[in-house]
Amino acid sequence: MEFPVGLGGVTLVIVAVIWLLVFVPGYTQRSQITETAKYVIQQQRESDRKIPMSKDEQLRRLINTQRGFSVLFGLFVLGAIALWVAAVPNQSLLPLAAVALALALGSLLVSRAAANQAANLAGALHARRLEVRSKASKALSNSSDRREWTPNPLPAPLASLPKAEPEAAPMAEVIQISQPKRVLTGSEIDQILARRRAI
C-alpha cells in the first residue's frame, strides 16, 4: 500500500491546526486561572495583615515565641558544651563555643522577655474576664426580672384533702308492667328459624 507524497505535509498541517485550536487556548486559560488564584491568595494575605491581632492571638504568639526560643536556648547550650569538650585538645574551637554560648544567652533573654509579656497579657485578660463576670452577676442579682428556673408547685396529695360524702343517686321511678311480654314457645322459634334458613 503506497501513500501519496503530499499526504505527510497535509497531515502535519492538520495536526498543527488542531494543536492551535484545542491545546493552546486550554493552556492559556489554565495559566490565567493559576495567576488569578495567586492574586486572590496574595490579596487575602494582605487583608489579613491589616486586621489587628486580638489579645488572645497576641498571647498565643508570645507563648509560641517563648517556647521556640527556649528550645533554641537548649540547643545552643548543648552545642556550646559539645564545642567546649571538643576544644580541649584543639584550642581553635573555643571561639565557636563562645559564639554558641552568646547565642544561648540571647535566646534565653528573648524567651524570658516573651514569657514576661505573655504573663502580663494573660493577667490583664483574666482580670477583664473576672470584671465582666462580676458585672454580669451583679446585674443578674439586681434585676427584678428573675430568669432563673423555679420548680413547678406540686399539687396537694389526695390523702390530705377532706373526704366528701358520696352523693346518693336519685332513685328511678318504678312503673308497674300491666301486660307481660309474650314468650315464644319452642315450636314457634323453630318455625321462625326454618323460614330464615329457607331464604
Digit-coded pLDDT (tens) for 125-147: 899 999 988 888 887 777 656 66
Residue 66: helix, strand or coil by DSSP?
A: helix
Residue 34: helix, strand or coil by DSSP?
A: helix
Say which residue, 84 or 67, is predicted with more confidence: 67
Euclidean distance between CA atoms 33 and 20, whole angstroms:
19
Report the 10 Å Cβ neighbour count for 74. 13
Query: In the chain, where are the structural domains located?
Result: 8-51, 53-140
Query: Which whole number is the average pLDDT over 20-29?
Result: 73
Of the candidates 127, 126, 115, 2, the one whose C-alpha atom is nearest the C-alpha of residue 67 is 115
Q: Which three cell numbers stand for residue 12?
A: 502535519
Residue 149 Cα distances to 145, 152, 153, angstroms: 12, 9, 12
Euclidean distance between CA atoms 139 and 19, whole angstroms:
76
For helices 55-86 and 94-142, what crossing angle results, to 10°? 160
Q: Is the pLDDT of residue 3 over 60?
A: no
